[in-house]
Structure 1
Amino acid sequence: MATVSDPRDVRYAFSVEWFDVNAQMNRPYSLFYYTVDDTIEMFDLRNHRMFLKRCKYPSLRLADLFVGASVVVFARQLKVTGYADDFTRSQLDTRKEKTCAIIKPHCYEKIGVILEAFQQAGLVVAHMRSLKLTRDQLAEGFQHLHEQPTFSELLDSMAEDFAVALELVGPNAVRALQDLAGPANPEEARARAPTSLRARYGRDGAQNAVHVSATADAAEREIRFFLGSPFPATATCRDCTLCCVLPHAHAAGHTGAILNTILEEGFEVSAIELTQLDRANASEFLEVYRTVVPEYTSMVDELCNGPVVVCEVRGENVVPSFRELCGPVDPEVAKHIRPQSVRARWGESKIRNAVHCTDLPEDGVLECEYFFRILPTHPL
């Protein structure tokens, strides 16, 4: 009797590259993802041989695989450069659509809540950064909208202060984000879509919570300008501490809730960036723990195991007070003595404990400088 294949066993194929530091060259692979059991395998295109036999790799999800993404497989940072076959392209093109959102300055205190709404809607945050742009810079970025009657108001609303730009990926992402945002006029949104972001947080047609891309072409232009241009970071590197939302917490969709907790506790988030560390950078950043903490190697593994969200946090006596909000390093201990702390609520273990925060008051500025001024950017 012929064996009937499992209809759930769909294989998706992606073209990926790994930068070999020793050889100073990109090495191409095909990465395959099997949906029936969430396994992966890799084929070495340069040497025409199997590189990784089909196996489980729980930290990599199908949602993480889209063109332009950076993923980590057994400590190798891979860049997804394209789809490796027509089937994958036809199946995932609309499911992996990209769009752009910009959280407007007047909604600064709602950054975490809005980000949480994006994540709960199934939109993957592929890139995120805080921006503070001039009116002229904004006019360049939105030049494709210059004929709209509300163009001047858009520039005014965005030039007021700190904004957060995001590249979001998901099924029919452009339309999904428009539906989540609601009508551009908040009054209309409250009448027609009362649970939408603009209905909940918009003030008027200009201060309407979020800008969202109108079309896929507009999304591509806006992503390229707002997330691809070398604008300076908004970090002050003064009277600050560092918060890193670790890869496991970001992948689980907790970033929005963590940011919301930080802001609700009265801290200022003065810079945000989604970045990807390679092993050398992660080792360098955590070097101070090498001879002190037995879990040092595992800490490095986690820090470079996917995208991290880094934030410059400011406030009164900020390093110790923010460390108290984060809670003890071990989430089990945190649940007993600080049950409302970040690690008690979203940590899983001493290694996967949701966030890194600065330990010593004198290191707050140094850690922020490392991420926002010293490290090369790793666009995702």
Structure 2
Amino acid sequence: MVYDYFDKYTFLCDMYDEETDDTAELVLNFFPFDNSVQAINPAKGKNLLRRVQLPSLTLQMLQIGNIVNVFSKLLLITDCAPATRRTLFNQVESTFAMIKPIHPSAHGKIITYIMKKGFRIVRMKNGKISKDFAMELYKDIGGSNMLPIIIDYVTSGEVIGLELVGPKAVSKFRSCLGATDPQDAAPGTLRQLYGENKLKNVAHGCNNLQDAATALDMFFGLENGIPRVPFRATLKDCTCCIIKPHVLNDGNVGAILEQIATSGKFYISAMAMFSVKISNAEEFYEVYKGVLPEYEAMAIQLAEGKCIALELKATDPSINLVCEFRKLCGPRDPELCRQLYPESIRAQYGKTIVQNAVHCTDLPEDGENEVEYFFKLLAND
């Protein structure tokens, strides 16, 4: 698409100011012609930032609910102008998708497939669903002889729930799934690629917006302040991995999950997507304060978008879990990784010493504490 110099997209944002302990409402204008931005404080009627190029900010990052980094200021996008909505978010919907109990080695491939189809994943976690939840998901086949078998299967093991956002997301994801029987599914659909049979057919998708809204609330919602589908973290004999926000923007989440699952040494016992406040990011990284010159940049990077926290366990309890997983990740500097450990996670998906794909626990005694920080402290925040 060819843009004019004066073409712009307008967003409403909240910016938290730590000095005043207050939130300011801003207008952010994005000019796609030269990838430049302008920030205005409408309450004071003045420019906070004159139009200036910001190569790190892309149009794909400007989504309602996202946090963007504008010259080290974190802005939460809360809304957009009507003209921007008509252009960028026409017919955008949310739907619920559930990866059924399948071998973890396929999880990464399926998530990569979903992201390549243009869906944004805005919520994600693994869990086990109740029979009541399963009955709600499959209420449309209430008279089928298959229903008890399906209910038993989807409640028999771990599932991964996803909130997917995109144009006509409900019907589009149904199309991506393919026919119920993988043998009848169109080539290139999820069920044709990864399904075994009509029962073990990879994933579930919703039929309409109302069903999607109900399923999203049942899977990600709270009841009396407690998640309806509990987090899977055990907080024991584990290490922590945080997949950083830039990895989600780059579409590499599935590849990293696949590399972990097929390593033969580790398995993911818990995963969930989080939005991290800058104060929480600073607290989480506090051990590096005054030690690493990148401390502040690391905290900002972790808070500038959604991240995915993983609790990892060893397939062989006798190995040093923290040390072995650090080997899979590689050194902090991706450039060094590419020279010495080209197959490591950071070598393949890291960009800089700050945007280095993943955080992993440094010391064996810190694994449980770091997992607890996300799955206990932030989960209840």
* TM-score band w.r.t. shorter chain: 0.7 to 0.9
1:46 aligns with 2:43: yes
Aligned equivalent of 1:246, options 244, 251, 260: 244
The residue number in structure 2 matching 1:262 is: 260
Q: CA offset at residue 358 of structure 1?
A: 0.6
The residue number in structure 1 matching 2:8 is: 11
The residue number in structure 2 matching 1:99 is: 95
Q: CA offset at residue 349 of structure 1?
A: 2.0
Task: Find the aligned partners of 2:72 and 2:142 in 1 and give their Cα distance.
Answer: 48
Count how many residue pairs are aligned between Structure 1 and Structure 2. 369
Task: Find the aligned partners of 2:79 and 2:99 in 1 and give their Cα distance.
Answer: 29
Residues 66, 305 of structure 2: 8 Å contact kept: no
Residues 75, 305 of structure 1: 8 Å contact kept: no
The residue number in structure 2 matching 1:274 is: 273
Q: CA offset at residue 9 of structure 1?
A: 5.2
Please list the CA deviations of residues 110-147 of structure 1 after superposition, one character each: whole Å capped at 9, or x if unmatched: 1111111112222221121112222124435x376464
The residue number in structure 1 matching 2:302 is: 303
The alignment partner of 1:340 has SS state of coil
The residue number in structure 2 matching 1:329 is: 332
Segment of structure 1 superposing worse, 303-312 or 25-34:
25-34
Residues 119, 169 of structure 2: 8 Å contact kept: yes
Please list the CA deviations of residues 334-366 of structure 1 after superposition, one character each: whole Å capped at 9, or x if unmatched: 122221111111112222211111111111111
The residue number in structure 1 matching 2:366 is: 363
The residue number in structure 1 matching 2:52 is: 55
Gaps of 5+ in 1: none
CA distance 1:377–1:144, change in 2 (3 Å): farther
Residues 104, 261 of structure 2: 8 Å contact kept: no
1:227 aligns with 2:220: yes
Task: Find the aligned partners of 2:141 and 2:254 in 1 and give their Cα distance.
Answer: 32
Output the amino acid matched with 1:218. D
CA distance 1:16–1:144, change in 2 (3 Å): farther
The alignment partner of 1:81 has SS state of strand
The residue number in structure 1 matching 2:26 is: 29
The residue number in structure 2 matching 1:81 is: 78
The residue number in structure 2 matching 1:350 is: 353
Residues 67, 304 of structure 2: 8 Å contact kept: no
TM normalised by structure 1 equals: 0.88
The residue number in structure 2 matching 1:110 is: 106
Pairing of 1:157-196 with structure 2 (within 5 A): 157-189=153-185, 193-196=186-189
Output the amino acid matched with 1:93. F
1:289 aligns with 2:288: yes
CA distance 1:160–1:25, change in 2 (3 Å): farther
Q: CA offset at residue 152 of structure 1?
A: 4.3
The alignment partner of 2:180 has SS state of coil
Residues 15, 76 of structure 2: 8 Å contact kept: yes
Residues 338, 344 of structure 1: 8 Å contact kept: yes
Task: Find the aligned partners of 1:225 and 1:77 in 2 and give their Cα distance.
Answer: 31
Task: Find the aligned partners of 1:118 and 1:350 in 2 and give their Cα distance.
Answer: 28
Task: Find the aligned partners of 1:263 and 1:133 in 2 and give their Cα distance.
Answer: 22
Task: Find the aligned partners of 2:283 and 2:100 in 1 and give their Cα distance.
Answer: 35
Residues 252, 349 of structure 2: 8 Å contact kept: yes
Q: CA offset at residue 151 of structure 1?
A: 4.9
Residues 75, 279 of structure 1: 8 Å contact kept: no
Task: Find the aligned partners of 2:118 and 2:14 in 1 and give their Cα distance.
Answer: 26
Output the amino acid matched with 1:351. V
Segment of structure 1 superposing worse, 102-111 or 306-315:
102-111
Task: Find the aligned partners of 1:62 and 1:154 in 2 and give their Cα distance.
Answer: 41
Output the amino acid matched with 1:255. V
Residues 133, 218 of structure 2: 8 Å contact kept: no
The alignment partner of 1:118 has SS state of helix
The residue number in structure 1 matching 2:201 is: 208
Task: Find the aligned partners of 1:144 and 1:8 in 2 and give their Cα distance.
Answer: 52
Task: Find the aligned partners of 2:150 and 2:40 in 1 and give their Cα distance.
Answer: 48
CA distance 1:29–1:376, change in 2 (3 Å): farther
Residues 99, 220 of structure 1: 8 Å contact kept: yes
Output the amino acid matched with 1:333. L
TM normalised by structure 2 equals: 0.88
